[in-house]
Amino acid sequence: MSNYSSLLSLVPLLPFFSAVILLFSTLPKLWISILAVGSVASVALISLFFNFIFWQQSDFILTANLGTWIHIDQLTINFGLYLDALSLVMITIISGVGALIHLYSTGFMYEDPSFKRYFIYLNLFVSAMLFLVLADNLLLLYLGWEGVGLCSYLLIGFWYQDRSNNLAANKAFLMTRIGDTAMAIGLFLLFTHLGTLDIQEIQSKAHQTWSLSNNTIASICCLLLLGGAVGKSAQLPLQNWLPDAMAGPTPVSALIHAATMVTAGIYLIARNSQLFQLAPDVLYIIALIGTFTLLLGASAAMVQSDLKRILAYSTISQLGYMFLALGVGAGASAVFHLMTHAFFKALLFLSAGALIYCLHHEHNIFKMGGLFKKLPIVAVSFAIGCSALASLPFTSGFFSKELILEQVVASNHTGLWWAAVLGAFITAFYSARLFFVVFLGKTQSIPDAVPTKAMSLALGILCVFSLVGGIHPEGLKTLMPPLHSNGLSALHHWLPITLPFIAISLAWWMFKTKRFGKPINSTLLQSVHQLLKSGWAFDRLYQTVFVSPFKFLCQLNNRDIIDLFYRLIEKISCALHMVFSHFQNGNLRRYNASLILFCILAFAWYITGELTL
């Protein structure tokens, strides 16, 4: 087992070392690509190897220890790694999809002057994410959490010469920071009450210390951890950084904001599932948040005209599905949907990237059209991705989404089920709209480039996985047992399967009658359209509630009250200088007078001295 431990310890370290080597050396582009892609690809191979040897077992645990980090009194934090079914799924996704995205980036970013910096950040991100999912204690998890937040900031603002990119990166960082602070406070509370930060120990000690009837503190801790997850996974109310984060390069959006970083919140809750079982109220809140978010994302994606923003809102919506699944207690299906979502969303983002690359950075879908014959590979990838997103039968998305809907039924939350079904309908609608508007109809912009070989290869592999990747990992079912259902009624079974087809036909009719992309006549519909397009106007809400009062307060402090104190000191010393400089004005008579004055004072001193004697 020790060989496996050392192999495990290589997993998060390989990309980190690659980033460090890239940082301190100057290599030609070929070698940079080989090093960067190679490190993540070797991690992918290691994780496939682990999958292979642990194929039959469903409750294996593999640990490794990279060294002690903190050792004070009773607190010992190691750089400990913990591999079980959940983390194995995560590292397979991260390294697999990550390696494909690295390969894709070598083609996409080839003409960019900061080629090396891009791969340093990307490798650093993969390393931090692997630390996050392999951590055996919450503090190391938090380290990875912060690391991915940092790399996300660096990569969103990658083209930093443009100020709007910097603002988008700041927005992402600040909003996730709010969640991070909540999570940190949750960590402190957990440590205070349970005395440990080791994840498995927390799960067992929580059940000993708290029970379902005495669970206020457990609820508070879970609520705080939920805060962190909400920030990182772009759920309500911290979701409006994700559409703006599309300012970064498209492979970055694919890796960070579709497949890996935004899934960190889901992972956190899944990892601490036994702790969350002690707080059913918090679980219900999670389900509610998930439902509202999925409706928000879907309705907003319906009316966008920017290609990447559609995919961003779609990501928010699908993450809502995962939160819903976690909230009703079906963690295994949430992680399964995470896996399939990683495949098809990465595929969609990478195809979008290929589209943008071939059309010279055109983002507006209403300026594209009829590209089916001109870019066949991209069109096929998009078709497969959109059908997986719409959960058409026998794509990977179909299996995971149907499973989630089944589990929601089994938990007897009918209202949530109807909301989720409505969301599925809208999802299918907008994915069909996207495909039709971009690839069918009249050609408006002519592509003058084709995707490079690296890009096409990555797209091809992801297409395959999006079609056949719908295999539920068994180990997850052991860790997070699914809800037992008493059989589904016919409505519950067949409605979700037929809905996508209805939605696609509706979209086809609207496309044929040319209703997409035309200005709307009635003002009511126009305001509804505006509301949906801005993501339920959350940006405006936060602007008026938080940003404007803060700016007002800063305006009040424009003269800088604290600085006034120091300026006062300066003024006093200047005044003293004015006073004292009169003693040196070159006036001889004044010098004489001061001589006599001090003579008088000396005599007076002597007299008083003699008197007291």
Partner 1 sequence: MLDTIFIITAAIILISAILTITAHNVVHALLYLIVTMLAVSLVFFILGSSFAAALQIIVYAGAIMVLFLFVTMMLHQGEKSLAQERHLFHFSSSITALVLCSMLFFELIYLLFLMPVASNTIFTTALSPIVTVKQIGMQLYGPYSLLVVISALMLLSALITAIHISKNPSTTKIKTQDNDL
Partner 2 sequence: MIPISWILFLSLSLFTIGIFGVLARRNLLFILISLELMLNAVVILFIAGSRYHSASIANSDGQIMYLLVLTLAASEIAVGLSLVIHMYRQHHHLDIDKLNTLRD
Least CB distance from residue 567 to partner 2, whole Å?
24
Cα–Cα distance between 38 and 129 in angstroms, integer? 17
Q: Which two tokens stand for residue 541?
A: 């809400």
> Which of partner 1, partner 2, none does residue 161 bind to, with CB < 5 to 8 Å depending on kind?
none
- Which residues are CB-contacts of 144 (< 8 A; sequence separation ≥ 6)? 128, 129, 130, 131, 132, 133, 135
Closest separation in Å from C-beta 601 to partner 1: 10
C-alpha–C-alpha distance, residues 291 and 309, integer Å? 20
Q: Are 477 and 58 in contact (CB under 8 A)?
A: yes
607 contact choice in partner 1, partner 2, none (CB below 5 to 8 Å, kind-dependent): partner 1
Between residues 564 and 576, which has the closer beta carbon with respect to partner 2? 576
Q: CB nearer to partner 2: give 449 or 595.
A: 595
Minimum gap (Å) between residue 608 Cβ and partner 1: 11
Instruction: Locate 209 and state its tokens.
Output: 């210390």
Nearer to partner 2, 71 or 590 (CB): 590
Q: How far is the CB of 594 from partner 1 (least distance, A)?
A: 10
Q: Looking only at residues 577 through 596 of this chain, which bind partner 1 when binding is defined by CB under 8 A?
A: 593, 596
Q: Does 592 bind partner 2 (CB under 8 A)?
A: yes
Q: What residue 604 binds from partner 2, partner 1, none (CB within 5 to 8 A, per partner kind)? A: partner 1
**Shortest approach of partner 1 to residue 611 CB, angstroms?**
8
Q: Which of 596, 609, 610, 613 binds partner 2 (CB under 8 A)?
A: 596
579/596 with CB nearer partner 2: 596
Residues 6+ apart with CB under 8 A from 380: 463
Residue 599 sits in the site that holds partner 1 (CB under 8 A): yes
d(CA 418, CA 437): 29
Q: What is the Cα–Cα distance from 208 to 192, expressed in whole angstroms?
A: 15
Q: Give whichever of 568 and 607 is closer to partner 1, judged by the CB atom.
A: 607
Q: Does 56 bind partner 2 (CB under 8 A)?
A: no
Applying CB under 8 A, among 163, 558, 610, 612 the residue interacting with partner 1 is: 610
Minimal distance in Å, beta carbon 596 to partner 1?
5
Which of these ranges, 380-388, 422-430, 546-554, 591-599, lies near partner 2 under the rule CB under 8 A?
591-599
β partners of residue 514:
none
Q: Closer CB to partner 1, residue 546 or residue 603?
A: 603
Q: How many residues bind partner 1 (CB under 8 A)?
A: 10
Of 561-590, binders to partner 2 (CB under 8 A) are: 581, 584-589
For residue 198, the 8-state DSSP code is B
**CA atoms 100, 101, 102, 106: torsion sign:** positive
> Cβ–Cβ contacts within 10 Å for residue 223, how many?
16
b/e map 385-409, b = 16+ CB within 10 Å? bbbbbbbbeebbbbbbbbbbbbbbb
Partner from partner 1, partner 2, none contacting 586, C-beta within 5 to 8 A by type: partner 2
Restricted to residues 372-411, the positions that interact with partner 2 (CB under 8 A) are none
Q: Which amino acid makes up residue 452?
A: T
Query: How many C-beta atoms lie closer than 10 Å to residue 59's C-beta?
Result: 11
Find the shortest distance in angstroms from Cβ 578 to partner 2.
12
Q: How far apart are CA 342 and CA 146, in angstroms?
A: 21
The single residue among 75, 525, 593, 601 that binds partner 2, judged by CB under 8 A, is 593
Q: Are 158 and 121 in contact, with CB atoms under 8 Å apart?
A: yes
**Single-letter amino acid code for the residue at 23:** L
* Structural tokens at position 589: 């008579």
From partner 2, partner 1, none, which one binds at residue 610 (CB under 5 to 8 Å depending on kind)? partner 1
Look at residues 143, 140, 146, 137 and name the one whose alpha carbon lies nearest to residue 195: 137
Footprint on this chain of partner 2 (rule: CB under 8 A): 581, 584-589, 592-593, 596
Contact residues for partner 1, defined by CB under 8 A = 593, 596-597, 599-600, 603-604, 606-607, 610
